[in-house]
Amino acid sequence: MSKQLSDHDFFFTYIHHYFNDELSPEERVRFEDLLNQQEYATEAREMKKKRGFLQIQLQSVALSEGEKATLRDVAIDRQTIDAVEDAEISDVSTSIDRHNFVVKLLFTSVILAIAGVIAYPILMNKSPRLVDPLNIIAYEALAFEQDGRGDRIYFPSDNNEDILKYFSQSRELDFTPRVIDTLPEGLKPTGASVIDYEVAKLGVAVYSKSETEKIFLFTFYGEAKELALGKSVTYNNRQYFVLASDRVNLVVWQDSATTIGTLVGRESMEDMLSLAQSGLKF
């Protein structure tokens, strides 16, 4: 997969793997060759500085009991805290266990919240380049195609309603991915999956014409304007971006205020665009 990426995409996709010493020897040689160029060397220094800052900030969350109490007051309203304390007082026999559980739960939540607040502005500065969701989606689609046993489809189903129910009941998602509402003749649901990356979660509904002809509908958090998208067409006041390659075609659109929809398949771009425009109900 990395061989097919441009130097720019390869660098920003694998920079974290480089810092974590997770590259193959071939990938490391390519990456270090790029570091000889001023543009990439500067980006690498900046990212290393930001990673160091993030680590220092996370390590600094070794707070006193008073500071922890202050953070708890910020994270949880006073009424909730009073209710917890009243419950502890009312049941002395289990107060120690309950107190330990509540403190651990609250403190873990606060640490995660602090980490999110610190990491979000740091990482979002380059998120479209670092996360590169369209490359990830293209990779996932190809991986689904090559999965002869269907292991990547976590919820096999030939029913759209069941797929929607699977998405809505998933504890990993706080949004509901889309399905193709109006299916053209010959295209049938195969199943769905929720793919959990550290920085993003993807919902994907899988459709098949045959064992080898598949179309994938991905939904994920984001704004299309943040992605490096090319040609677009407008249909029913919605803008669709089309990206073609020698392996798969992608149609991308802003599905809701906070989510992006993407169709991926080997169909012609005209057929993919037609399916996106006529198969989805907004």
Sheet bearing 232-235, strands edge to edge? 155-156, 188-196, 201-208, 214-221, 259-265, 249-254, 238-244, 232-235
Each domain of the chain, given as residue ranges in start order, spans: 2-59, 65-123, 132-278
pLDDT in tens, the chain (282 residues): 567 788 887 887 788 778 777 888 888 899 899 999 988 888 888 777 665 544 444 444 444 455 545 545 544 445 554 554 555 445 544 444 554 554 455 445 444 444 444 444 444 443 333 357 888 888 889 889 888 777 889 999 999 999 999 999 988 888 889 999 999 889 999 999 999 887 778 999 999 988 778 999 999 988 888 886 777 888 888 899 988 877 789 999 999 988 999 999 998 888 888 898 888 876
132-278 adopts what CATH topology?
Phosphorylase Kinase; domain 1 (3.30.200)
Angle at the Cα of 171 from the Cα atoms of 165 and 174, rounded to 5 degrees: 85
Q: Measure the CA–CA gap between 217 and 192, rounded to whole angstroms.
A: 9
